[in-house]
Chain A
Amino acid sequence: MNIVSLVLQAGLRDLARNRWVAAYALGFLVITEGLFWFGGTGPQVALSLLNVVLIVVPLVALVFGTIHVYASREFVELLLAQPVPRGQLFIGQFLGLALPLSGAFAVGAGIPFAWHAGAGPGGGALLALLVAGVALSVSFAAIATWIALRTDDRLKGVGLALAVWLATTVVYDGFVLGAAAAFGDYPLERPLLALMAGNPVDLARVLVLTQLDVSALMGYTGALFERTFGTGIGTGVAVATLALWCAAPLALAARRFQRRDF
């Protein structure tokens, strides 16, 4: 049988019994169901859930991801001592982390979505939120894997993961805000759009907002935003860039895995 799928199956079997993963899925289930329960419509729930997703998904993927990679270190060494190529082992290992993480989110948030909003309004926003959450899970799991593979000191690695989380969810936007204020006299639409593409958390946020009425507020600032965000092409570009944000750290992590000494 294919080595990737063998290693992946073992990883899935392991994390399927992991209580943190279960708690993560259950947490999203409870929050999402609760938002619907208290009379939220599809778009309102998507908006309320957006900040939870933007904060929690990267945090869990980064912290759980680094700890998981560190914890599997010895097992990976044992597997590496078997007659298997490194590349396939890496893919199996990574998918064994990324699939349970994104799956737990997708199941936890997706079941209430399907249950309440299958035919209701805001289906597009909820779908965008699911896509964004899954993409963030994969992207930050890849970043976490990369960090853990290049930092042997585990405490330092987890610290670095937390720093990345803080940088992407808060500091980066603070920088954007500062730039918007400092260079207010210049035409800023294009640079700010580029800045949005430079952070997966911002991209995920913009992707969800494009599916909601409030995105018109962005159009408020100029036709460029409306043209970029308001169209199917804009959504496509956001999704594609998010995919790039999954692929790039994954490529770095894979390269590191191929080259490093265990």
Chain B
Amino acid sequence: MSRLLRALLLATLVAPPLAASDLVVDAGGRYRTITAALAAARPGDRVIVNAGTYREPTIVIGTPRVTLEGRGWPLLDGQGARAVLIVAADDVTVRGLVVANTGVSNLDDRAGIRVRDARRCLIEHNRVRDNLFGIYLQRAADCVVRGNEVVAHGVSQNTSGNGIHLWYSPGARIEDNHVSGQRDGIYFEFSSGGVTTGNVSEHSQRYGLHFMFSDSCRYERNVFRENNSGVAVMYSRGVVISHNRFEHSWGSAAYGLLLKEILGGEIRGNVFTGNSTGIYLEGSSHLAVADNDFLQNGWAAKVLANAEDDHFTGNRFAGNAFDVSTNSRAASSTFDGNWWDAYRGYDLDRDGVGDVPFHPVRLFALIVEQHAPALVLLRSPMVAILDAAERVFPVLTPEALVDRRPLMRPPR
């Protein structure tokens, strides 16, 4: 009997064909490289990578149902020259790895972990560091990206990519990740039905969260802070954005939350604090903006005239330089039952609702919208007098943008 035949026989006896086995990668072990272990792995196998630094050509997982798992944070180093890990099979799990240092390339979108044309992947608890793109889902449906730490130290938009990037990847769950210093922290394009919860995205070169053409997505309990341009969501339908924090996006083109061409959806229970513009609505219609806190922003809400039938209710506005601004007297959004710190009305019938309507668009805000340089007069006593006069004789502010039932007490 040849040795080969004996080995085959032994293998069939010891391990039944469908039983999974662990392949250990170790400097002194049977597999010196991850590539070698993966080549040997069969569907359902686990490749355990022990602590150490692994510098290999781009690692590709081509076997379905494989788990690639690090023990003691092994480092997969792209040496500034190549993509590090590509998942190209369904039902693959990647966990516990340090994936670093793809380097910058102008030719290809190098990623620390790329999932390509694969379904149901699970990317969790990895440390993804200093890559052009962090985790890149490319035509990857129903994936879960969970508890990863994605950090880059890019200095400009041109030399950094996105932290968690989804392209044609529907049904994703992006949960509890921490993304910092990438171009866009979390990016969705043509990726519908996703759920993004509990993430922290900060210090992005551009947007903390950026999504386009991604309908019916939910974004909940995330924190977006100190992103260069805030958060931008565009060209999508039926989005739910609730209980997130949008914090400290200052600058001439920075927004807490910018919505452009969003049709239908809910923006509820969020906190917008310390942004130059809290929420910016352009061409976005049929949105319910409810129970949010707008605190210490430059403009709490900019509602352009082409944003139709958006309904603000139960929101709290406090400490903003401007509460609401618009670019035209013909604005069609409505405000009803919000709390405004600038409201000076009274409540004779004690029903908790002010008896005098509140006009949140100050005359100065309207002037500034049309003549931006007039902003040099911000906080001038003359402007205070002007606004007081407008409050007494409202002749110029848009009649539509009025809260007829302003709350006497903050709702929360």
Contact = CB atoms under 8 A, between A and B. Distances in A.
Interface of A: 44, 47, 50-51, 54-55, 169-174, 176-177, 180-181, 184, 188-189, 192-193, 195-196, 201-202, 205-206, 209, 213-214, 216-223, 225-226
6 contacts: A44-B319, A173-B380, A177-B367, A184-B373, A219-B251, A221-B252
Interface string B310-342: 000000000101000000000000000000000
Contacts of B372: 220-222
B375 A51 contact: no
Given A173-B383, A174-B382, A217 B374 contact: no
Given A213-B250, A219-B252, A169 B376 contact: no
A209 B378 contact: yes
Contact of B376 (A55, A218, A226): A218
B377 A216 contact: no
Contact of A180 (B250, B374, B381): B374
Contacts of B298: 213-214, 216-217, 220
Nearest to B276: A216
Contacts of A174: 382
B278 interface: no
Given A170-B381, A217-B378, 13 more contacts: A173-B381, A181-B370, A189-B373, A192-B373, A205-B379, A205-B380, A209-B379, A214-B321, A216-B298, A220-B252, A221-B252, A221-B373, A221-B375
Contacts of B385: 170
A51 B252 contact: no
B274 interface: yes
A50 B382 contact: no
B382 A180 contact: no
Contacts of B276: 216-217, 220
Chain A CB count within 10 A is highest, among B298, B299, B321, B374, for B374
A196 B380 CA distance: 11
Interface string B365-406: 001001111111111111111100000000000000000000
A43 to B, nearest CB: 9
A188 B381 CA distance: 21
Interface string B70-96: 000000000000000000000000000
Given A214-B298, A219-B252, A50 B373 contact: no
Contacts of B384: 51
Nearest to A212: B379
A196 B376 contact: yes
Contacts of B370: 181, 184
Contacts of B377: 173, 176-177, 180
A223 B373 CA distance: 11
Nearest to B383: A173
Interface string B204-232: 00000000000000000000000000000
B380 A202 contact: yes
B380 A180 contact: no
Interface of B: 250-252, 274, 276, 296, 298-299, 319, 321, 367, 370-386
Question: Which are the 5 A-B pairs with shortest beta-carbon distances?
Answer: A173-B382, A180-B374, A221-B372, A188-B373, A184-B371
A54 B381 contact: yes
B327 to A, nearest CB: 13
B371 A180 contact: yes
B297 to A, nearest CB: 10
Contacts of A180: 367, 371, 373-374, 376-377
A19 B381 CA distance: 28
B273 to A, nearest CB: 11
A55 B373 contact: no
Contacts of B374: 176-177, 180-181
B252 A193 contact: no
A44 B295 CA distance: 12
A251 to B, nearest CB: 28
A47 B319 CA distance: 10
Given A219-B252, A220-B372, A181 B382 contact: no
Contacts of A195: 376
B321 A170 contact: no
A225 B377 CA distance: 12
Contacts of A218: 375-376, 378
Nearest to B380: A173
A153 to B, nearest CB: 29
A177 B298 CA distance: 20
Nearest to B251: A216
Given A170-B381, A177-B382, A214-B321, A220 B375 contact: yes
A50 B379 contact: yes
B141 to A, nearest CB: 41
A157 B180 CA distance: 63
Nearest to A219: B252
Contacts of A226: 252
Nearest to A47: B379
Nearest to A188: B373
Given A177-B382, A180-B371, A220-B276, A206 B376 contact: yes
B381 A192 contact: no
B49 to A, nearest CB: 46
Given A169-B382, A170-B385, A181 B371 contact: yes
A173 B387 CA distance: 14
A198 to B, nearest CB: 12
Contacts of B376: 176, 180, 192-193, 195-196, 202, 206, 218, 221, 225
Nearest to B248: A213
Contacts of A176: 374, 376-377
Contacts of A51: 379, 381, 384
Nearest to B382: A173
A182 to B, nearest CB: 9
Contacts of A170: 381-382, 385
A51 to B, nearest CB: 6
A222 B375 CA distance: 10
